[in-house]
Amino acid sequence: MSADTSSGAGEPRVTGLGGVFYVAADPETTRAWYRDNLGIDGTYGPQFSWAEEPMTNPYSLISHFADDEYIKPGKGSFMINLRVHDLSGFVVLLKKKGVKILDEVDEGYGKFAWLLDPNGVKIELWEQVADQLPE
């Protein structure tokens, strides 16, 4: 069951991901890396507006894993998934900036690429290619 993301009044409910928070040894360097390489920044750190999302029915999800195989080689027991537009073009830009891309794959419902931030946190870049939510 997915969260009801319709607008307007109704029962109290979760409506989406509010952010990712973690401890970094050097927060300013980390913030600069996100700004300079991923193009995201804001008053309190990297941020973006859902209004900029080009898909008709954008969605986010929370996935649970029994082990950390999918998270490796990232440090810790989590990773950050970021939605992107034109993953192929974005990967080219990242490579030009010297960012190492760990892998890329097209799963049909979405295209993915993975990299590590300067703290070793794994980042999954995801381009949604279908407007419907997965069943």
- Tens digits of residue pLDDT in 16-69: 676 787 888 899 999 999 999 989 888 878 887 777 777 777 777 778 888 888
Q: Which residues contact 59 (CB under 8 A, 6 or more apart)?
A: 2, 5, 128, 133
Q: Looking at residue 83, what is its pLDDT?
A: 87
Q: List strands edge to edge, sheet with 122-128.
A: 79-83, 122-128, 110-116, 103-106
Q: Domains along the chain? A: 65-128 (3.10.180.10)
Nearest CA among 46, 70, 53 for reference residue 16 = 53
> What is the model's pTM?
0.73
Two structure tokens written together for 4: 């009801």
Task: Report the length, in residues, of the chain.
Answer: 135
